[in-house]
Amino acid sequence: MLKTLIIASFLALSTSFNLSAAELKVGYVQVDKILQEAPQTAESGKKLEREFSPRSQELDRMQKQIRDIEAALDKEGVTLSETDRRNKERDASNLKIEFQRKQRELREDINLRKNEELASLQDRINKAVQTVSETEGYDLVVYGGVAYASKKIDITDKVLKLLGKK
């Protein structure tokens, strides 16, 4: 008797769960596609390029200066006095050290700013996904870790449209 009651309860619960699941509206978003196609991605890249261009140009000038000193050493190395040659070698060495330090700092600063820009873009994407989901009555929207999603539940283009792509 108890076994029959448990089975009946299980069947009733599973039937009501199936009815609820049938009414569930599910959507899927391809975040990698959004990150590639969203206009904010290109804007962010241009913004970073403008921000770091002066420092990059300074590194280019330093690199040219190092090459010029080394070329002068190769060309005039035989005719220079030992002291002058050592001074130029020391200058080139000091310049190389400074160049490497500035290059490392630039890379670190660029990576930091890229991460900041990516976080900002992710916030905008999340807000757009939430807006589309609420507007169109989705109960569940997933992105990431999905093995398969059919085209009929893919709302990526709607999110891109809200972000200004299409």
CATH code, 72 = 3.30.910.20
* Rounded Cα–Cα distance for residues 158 and 165 (Å): 10
Number of domains comprising the chain: 1
Q: Is residue 16 part of a domain?
A: no
Please indicate, yes or no, if residue 7 is contained in any of the structural domains.
Answer: no
pLDDT score recorded for residue 1: 47
> Does pLDDT of 21 surpass 90?
no
Partners of residue 84 on adjacent β-strands: none
Rounded CA separation 41/104 (Å): 24
What is the rounded distance in angstroms from the CA atom of residue 6 to the CA atom of residue 32?
A: 46
Residue 13 in domain = no
How far is CA 99 from each of CA 35, 45, 88, 89, 156, rounded to the nearest angstrom? 33, 24, 16, 15, 44
Which domain, by its residues, includes 153? 25-163
Q: Is the pTM of this model over 0.75?
A: no
Q: What is the mean pLDDT of residues 129-155?
A: 88
Beta pairing partners, 26: 140
How many angstroms separate the CA atoms of 52 and 131, rounded? 34
3-class SS of residue 166:
coil
Task: Assess if residue 151 is contained within a domain.
Answer: yes
